Copies of this chain bind each other. A is one copy, B any other.
Amino acid sequence: MIAIDWGTTSFRAYRLDRKGNVVDTHSSSKGIMVTPPGPRVLEEEIGAWLEEAPIVMSGMVGSRQGWVEAPYVQCPAGYDEIAAALKPVSWGKRKAWIVPGVSCRDAAGVPDVMRGEETQILGCGVDGTICLPGTHSKWVEVRGGRIERFSTAMTGETYAVLKQHSILGRMMEEGAADGEAFAQGVRRSGDEGGLLHHLFGVRTRGLMGELAPAASASYLSGILIGHELRDRADREVLLLGAPALTARYAQAAALLGVGTRTLDADAAVRCLFRLASSRA
């Protein structure tokens, strides 16, 4: 079978044998925002594999801006609910399945959504509180193998726009990640005044010569990740994502007395294999 993780800015394909072992991989930058997703991209990228079946695709390929919209499955959602909602697409004699995203509502009734992360999470096969840090960090409660509920924090994107477009970025200089400045930011997030006040301190500490220009991006990152963690007081968090980022979250969590374990970031393929098996 073929498993595809098709996101906004990247396309990653895995060719699997009958037991689910990866026998070949291929990736490119043809995310859905780069090239309109559809049969032509598949033919160009992995045309030689397409005799295999089934093909299962997850990520933004199933969004409104994707190939075909695969409507969100509501929480609680596990393999069965997601497998039942796989969305078929066909071209010529060929056919593929798109994995739907998952939605829920928080205590106040405000909706939340994920698309792609559900595949990574179910592939891990563990219960607990899972954090997938990133542009839009996901905090996910998994019980009995099902996603019970989750909430998104816009931490990574807020960091990026403040760094690139606000007055805070104007004084920053590129530098290696600064662990001590990051820790100062995490501790700062517990002070009085709230996030909007703590942000301004990135500028004033720089202005007063108390924060080096090359360290201020790490300090800003610590403030934001510190707030994200403090707003979700858990005893143990399972981290799932790129190693550089999960290491930062583990450092911040340790400063706040929260234990962490790091999950296998390549688990998505296992989930796609199991979903594919349901349609084999």
Contact = CB atoms under 8 A, between A and B. Distances in A.
A193 B106 contact: yes
A178 B30 CA distance: 39
Interface of A: 103, 106-108, 110-113, 136-137, 151-155, 157-158, 161-162, 164-167, 188, 191-197, 199-201, 204-205, 207-208, 210, 224, 227-228, 230-232
Contacts of A228: 194, 196
A16 to B, nearest CB: 32
- Copies of this subunit: 2
B166 A157 contact: yes
Nearest to A162: B161
Contact of A158 (B136, B196, B210): B196
Contacts of A224: 196
B106 A194 contact: no
A234 B224 CA distance: 25
Given A111-B210, A112-B204, A158 B162 contact: yes
Contacts of A153: 193-194, 196-197, 200
A199 to B, nearest CB: 4
A196 B166 contact: no
B196 A154 contact: yes
B191 A111 contact: no
Contacts of A165: 161, 164-165
Given A112-B204, A204-B111, A207-B113, A199 B158 contact: yes
18 contacts: A106-B191, A137-B196, A151-B197, A152-B197, A153-B193, A153-B197, A153-B200, A157-B167, A158-B162, A158-B196, A161-B162, A193-B232, A194-B227, A194-B231, A194-B232, A195-B196, A196-B224, A196-B231
